[in-house]
Amino acid sequence: MKFAVLVFPGSNCDLDMYHTIKDVLGEEVEYVWHDATDLSAYDGILVPGGFSYGDYLRCGAMANQSNVMEEVKKAAEAGKPVLGVCNGFQILTEAGLLPGALLRNKNLKFICKDVNLRVVNNDTLFTNQYDKDEIITIPIAHGEGNYYCDAETLEQLQQNNQIVFTYESENPNGSLADIAGIVNERGNVLGMMPHPERAADEVLGNAQGLALFKSIVKQWRESNVNQA
**What pLDDT, in 10s, does the model give residues 122-138?**
999 999 999 999 999 99
Question: Any alpha helices (H) in 20-144, and if so which ranges?
Answer: 68-77, 87-94
pLDDT band at 227 (very low <50, low <70, confident <90, very high): low
pLDDT of 223 reads 87
Exactly one of 71, 144, 168, 197 is catalytic; name it: 197
Cβ–Cβ contacts within 10 Å for residue 154, how many? 18
Q: What is the mean pLDDT of residues 192-219?
A: 97
pLDDT band at 56 (very low <50, low <70, confident <90, very high): confident
Exactly one of 86, 142, 144, 168 is catalytic; name it: 86
**How much is the pTM?**
0.96
Whether 70 is a known active-site residue: answer no
Whether 112 is a known active-site residue: answer no
Exactly one of 94, 149, 168, 195 is catalytic; name it: 195
Whether 13 is a known active-site residue: answer no
Cβ–Cβ contacts within 10 Å for residue 70, how many? 13
Question: Any alpha helices (H) in 78-164, and if so which ranges?
Answer: 87-94, 151-159
- Reference 163, options 194, 135, 187, 129; nearest CA is 187
Q: Out of 3.40.225.10, 3.30.450.20, 3.40.50.880, 3.10.20.90, which CATH number does the structure's domain 2-227 have?
A: 3.40.50.880
The full set of domain ranges for the chain reads 2-227
Distances from the Cα of 40 to the Cα of 36, 126, 184, 220, angstroms: 11, 21, 21, 15
